[in-house]
Chain A
Amino acid sequence: MLAAPVVAAQAERLSMRRVVVTGLGAVTPLGCGVDHVWNKLTAGESGIQAIQSFDVSDLPAKIAGVIPVGETSEGKFNVDDYVERKEQKKMDTFITYAIAATAQAVKDSGWEPTEEEDLDATGVIIGSGIGGLQGISEGTLIEKDRGPRRLSPFFIPANLINLASGFVSIIHGFRGPNHSVVTACATGSHAVGDAARLIMWGDADVMVAGGTEAAVCRMGVAGFAAARALSTGFNDEPTTASRPWDKDRDGFVMGEGAGIVVLEELEHAKKRGAKIYAEVLGYGLSGDAYHLTAPAPDGNGGFRAMKGAFRTAKVDPDKIDYVNAHGTSTPLGDEIEHGAVKRLMGDHAKNVAMSSTKSAIGHLLGAAGAVEAIFSVKAIETGVIPPTLNLENPSDGCDMNLVPKVSQERKVNYALSNSFGFGGTNASLIFGPAP
């Protein structure tokens, strides 16, 4: 055990380094670029559509949140604007999404250092739930059909999860901590929380953090369908399939994309006159120790992650204005999370707005937490709370303000974002107003 003065010194040190958000970047099924995505999200648009890029005739789920491809100027994704043609074959799509979202976030932050000491003080933590699933599937077939000599020398680095962080560091020259997170659907939240702590502890002054995913491929859909996790009853009406807390919900809808934030030590950001969106106040983590894919029925894991976030934020639950829920639209998870939030908030629950933006973009798996952190930050910045689409009839007991179908305007000082992953891994983040 550490001596009391050491603990006190550590506590003081931690409280000395505050972390703020100074840059945002996103590639989502609603488009490419945070402003564009946010406008569509708060207008109640959906990015869920019929899958067209591969054969789904024998798959029970035939819809997903896919990235609209087109001109960057129109808010669509054009990979050529971010990665040179000849480099594209060296990386799976999940990496290109991360590179694109990072380019946006770095530009937005204005932090584009060239001095060695600045580059050394800037790190990267980008995670992914699955990584290069499509690339690994294709490589497996090449090896099987044509033998190991036909396997590309880029097969391994193109598909490794930490290579998103690797490529980003090489492109921008960021030589600080280079790390990655793999915690299924909690990945993005863990990456943002861990990056904030690296800044708090002085390992870096600036961190590029977030999550990325590109698992909308045959293997991805088939795999999640085999686990009976996906919505299958709304293939004919894709935009109505993701319906968190609604009585008719029947599973999640896969999505893909990336969310990246630039986190920065407060004084560092102030000194250079950076635009500060919000402060990262709290971060809590927990494990369910219960089941591979199902959440613990009493919501204990999510409850303790949220509690941890409040403990580190030194903010009471009754200060929260908005909760961006994990809310995946699965029969079990939504009600369990709702119960845990209510238990934690107590009487204040009736004052809180809670929505699930997965209703509009689907479940971005390893990118979800990062994209939803961005939405939480945007809610603080703009005073608009994005809606829960398709919430017609809430399940019994789901009586919080779940922002059904239409966004709500309200001052948001403090926002909580939850992410829970397969394996029973949970992360919660609390954001507060720019200091």
Chain B
Amino acid sequence: MSDVAERVKKIVVEHLGVDESKVEDNASFIDDLGADSLDTVELVMAFEEEFGVEIPDDAAEKILTVKDAINFIDENAS
């Protein structure tokens, strides 16, 4: 697991209070991990903070799974 993936998953576990084993690449924040719309906003903020990236609202709307988040950060983080 890449460094980015590990950090993303750690944030998801902390913010959504879910078991680490459930945070698979294809897990959907809302459908699989119990997040609501406000939780996902907060998750995106936490990713921004952790990786020093800005995630605009239109991009954030497309980050629906753990993998989406990892991919966005891989592509955009400096």
Contact = CB atoms under 8 A, between A and B. Distances in A.
Chain B: number of interface residues, binned into ranges: under 10
Contacts of B41: 153
Nearest to A84: B17
B38 interface: yes
B15 interface: yes
Nearest to A150: B45
A153 B38 contact: yes
Contacts of A157: 38
A85 interface: yes
Nearest to B15: A86
Nearest to B54: A149
A153 B38 CA distance: 6
Interface string B22-45: 000000000000000010011001
Contacts of A152: 42, 45
B16 interface: yes
B38 A86 contact: no
Nearest to B38: A153
Name the residue in A86, A87, A152, A154 with the highest tally of chain B Cβ atoms < 10 Å from its Cβ. Answer: A86
A150 B49 CA distance: 9
A154 B17 contact: no
Interface of B is mostly: helix
A152 B15 CA distance: 12
Given A86-B15, A86-B16, A86-B17, A154 B45 contact: no
A170 to B, nearest CB: 11
A87 B17 CA distance: 9
B16 A154 contact: no
A273 B73 CA distance: 60
Contacts of B49: 150
B38 A154 contact: yes
Contacts of B15: 86
B53 to A, nearest CB: 12
Contacts of B45: 149-150, 152-153
Interface in A233-256: none
Nearest to A85: B17
Interface string A340-360: 000000000000000000000
Interface string A148-171: 011011100100000000000000
Contacts of A84: 17
Contacts of A90: 38
A200 B42 CA distance: 43
Given A85-B17, A150-B49, A152-B42, 9 more contacts: A86-B15, A86-B16, A86-B17, A149-B45, A149-B48, A152-B45, A153-B38, A153-B41, A154-B38
Interface of A: 84-87, 90, 149-150, 152-154, 157
Task: List 6 tightest A-B contacts by C-beta distance, closest first.
Answer: A86-B17, A153-B41, A153-B38, A153-B42, A85-B17, A154-B38
